[in-house]
Structure 1
């Protein structure tokens, strides 16, 4: 039985945070070495993105993120009977692709803060941030190609397919902003492409670099996919009701941007009085803090909040079912604890 099913939250959380810390400790030296191969200007922006330096190039201890995706690569590799060391290039590549997407997303969404400090594009300019993202994507493929691992070529193909999914997800997300008829199913497909795809690929890369069979690989991939979609539901909830001191983003950030996030789209399609009131003004820019608070209340009253909670719970259960079906040879406690941690709604 998984650790988080039998131990208090605090113990399970400790195990999850420890798994993230271990993954970060393993990946960061290799990640730093990879970034050292970039041209100086791109290297500077990339180091800022990872929280290692400030805008002036001075050493910084800012957050570089949770390291969730590299942790999933390494843990999945061990769960599939391989070693974390052999899967290290895949973990580095997954983290590079993730940060490529963040650099581009921040420019596209004109987000001013990430991880409690100014986004790279606000510091270095939009064009430079886009180019730095391109550099990270190119580097991800180079890290895999240079690993010499038998899984390198299929890993490159898998990662490339995933990047195409990420791009399509972003294109769809942007298109939603101009539409008033987005339904729940297509919003879920967008979230699968934008978020679930890379978490699924992270687990699949770990299994690939462990030489796992197709059955185990598929269940680990499904674990990552369902966990990723659950994570997006939680992230969308935090984008409306999250504490800015914890999320590192302004209050009601998704509502201010009029994002068609999962709880919002459910509310808009609810055919309730609150949903109809929401639809009548959601295409208009917010006018005040009270407007944003009222909009959040409409999403809640129309059922968006409750639905996303239920979906996150359902998807977490499904993810853990796939983890069990994969017959993991190791790290089941860490993967279970990590799944519970990233789908919590209070951080």
Structure 2
């Protein structure tokens, strides 16, 4: 059975089959709904159903608590229609401007950035080019239909290769391979680009970039894009990790801060040991932003990393620092362990 979905306030409409999700149908129709993980964990695709009914597939309670679902909120990535729908959602211009492709790629380089973070450089076929926006991600297509998602860590103008930052998750189907058997010249397959985490370039608002762990990867791509476009927007980058070694490209960030007149870098460590000899900021990274900014009402925030960091930042920046909810853009990095909780 086919149902009709109407998006407000835009008035856009698209058809959705009873056995497909609202998000899948929207993307198929070229309607730019926001999304991130596509598996009910990050909450980026959350919107409101103002008429009609859906049934939700598996999802995380923190992404859609029962009380929010009772109020009509929905995760469109796992919501299947039971009737015609009217939904409230903020459409994103340019989200579908580049085609999603399935492509083979060759591992061009493997480089350890820290004990548990590997840089993978991917060489694309000579006659192929992946068009994407800084901040987006690709999905590796693994055996048995499984997929693993990683953000591009380089801006698209640097497109001879695609680089990724992969953290080792012991027991992980893909990351165990990366840190043990993967070698240069191996062939992989991926699909992309995906995601709506990219710069909104129709604004000149000052930017706060917030990263935890390998959430730095898409943030790095955003900074490279800002440099490439010669943006004059004020940018403050806050990068958090448990130990100083987790800030595995801190030297690059310091270089940006030294060279770029409107750029500030604030590294934050939450669990330094005496042998680290850390004398910088400590605590949780989003709390450093709270300490430095009394008012975020005129800012945009781009946050990427662990779900708890992204969720805490969104909650506190909006409630305590007057950040407009629509100016918080996020990519929550969810692992298979996160999805099981």
Q: Which is richer in strand?
A: 2
More RCO (CA 8 Å, sep 6+): 1
Tell me the TM-score normalised to structure 2 length. Answer: 0.29
